[in-house]
Amino acid sequence: MIALHGYGETLYTWHHLAAPLGAQNELYLFDLKGHGRSPKPRDGKYAAEDQAELVHDFIRRQNLTGVTLMGHSMGGGIALLLAQRLLAERPDRLASLVLLGSVSYPQPIAALARIIAVPFLGETLLTITPPGLVVRAVLRGAYYDAEKITADDIEAYKVNLADHDSIHAMVTIARHIVPREIEPALSAINASGVPVLLIWGCQDHYVPLSFGSRLNARLKHSRLWAIDKCGHVPHGERPETVAPAVAAFLARREMPV
């Protein structure tokens, strides 16, 4: 299994799921380009399509087959694009998909991300604002129950605003959170018969549940599991239910009811 985090996150986002899922599965966790400890070159290649290409290169170098792609938010959009690449190259590369609050179709982006994406303004704002305040504001919008946001969560994501190169990467990525064209990927996934588990918080304000419903209607072999009293980060806010559901899906392709 390869897990792809969302915008402004790092591999830390999977810390609740790593142990239960890693016990029975080979789990690959890494920071996407421009995030965490990964390189942050000023090459402009930060679109979802660029990220998918990098992960595809990793899969080919490792010669992985039977991969489950798990993606959250922006990482879900990258997973969809990557799925299309894997299926076109070698269908046995891909076994299944787990998408949590995933971007897919064109949608309005959160107000803060729109501001960050504005040339010059975004970098200035992130430079003068304490990183902890920015991270806390983003997480408060992402969680249904803000009491579940911990000091460790805030510390983990402050790394994405630690220096000028990190801030430049965040500003650049903010312009490319949603894939340019998703329909070819959805068609390829349908044709392959690959099972897809969609997990959504009913109170997700960043990628509303209506987008999960739209994806579920479009994909022939998917199941949408909507969690009440949960926001944009189901694996962080409700890990006690998400972890066993994903584990069961991986083991027996069972879908939550």
pLDDT one-digit tens code per residue, 3-23: 999 999 999 999 999 999 998
Whether the predicted pLDDT of 34 surpasses 60: yes
Q: How many domains does the chain have?
A: 1
| Angle (CA) 17 18 24, round 5° | 100
pLDDT at res. 255: 67
The whole model's pTM is what? Answer: 0.95
SS3 of 197, please?
Answer: strand
Please give the share of the chain, as a percent, with pLDDT higher than 70.
97
Whether the predicted pLDDT of 257 surpasses 60: no
- Residue range 98-116: mean pLDDT, rounded: 87
- Residue range 61-65: mean pLDDT, rounded: 97
d(Cα 91, Cα 136) in Å, to the nearest integer? 41
Whether the predicted pLDDT of 254 surpasses 70: no
Region of 215 (left: φ > 0; alpha: ψ -120 to 50; beta: rest) is alpha
Indicate whether 118 belongs to any domain.
yes
pLDDT confidence bin for 190, thresholds 50/70/90: very high
- Residue range 37-62: mean pLDDT, rounded: 97
The CATH number of the domain holding residue 145 is 3.40.50.1820
Q: Which domain holds residue 110?
A: 2-252
Instruction: Point out the least confidently predicted range of 24-33, 108-117, 176-185, 193-202.
Output: 108-117
pLDDT at res. 256: 64
Q: How far is CA 1 from CA 59, 69, 131, 152, 252, in A?
A: 11, 6, 31, 25, 15
d(Cα 29, Cα 14) in Å, to the nearest integer? 8
Burial class (CB in 10 A: 0-12, 13-18, 19+), 38: middle
DSSP category for residue 83? H
- Residue range 37-49: mean pLDDT, rounded: 96
Instruction: Point out the least confidently predicted range of 142-156, 183-197, 242-256.
Output: 242-256
Mean pLDDT of the chain: 94
Indicate whether 257 belongs to any domain.
no
d(Cα 103, Cα 120) in Å, to the nearest integer? 26
| Angle (CA) 110 41 117, round 5° | 20
Indicate whether 28 belongs to any domain.
yes
- Residue range 158-167: mean pLDDT, rounded: 96
Q: What are phi and psi of 198, to 5 degrees?
A: -105, 125
Whether the predicted pLDDT of 169 surpasses 80: yes
pLDDT at res. 110: 73
Indicate whether 190 belongs to any domain.
yes
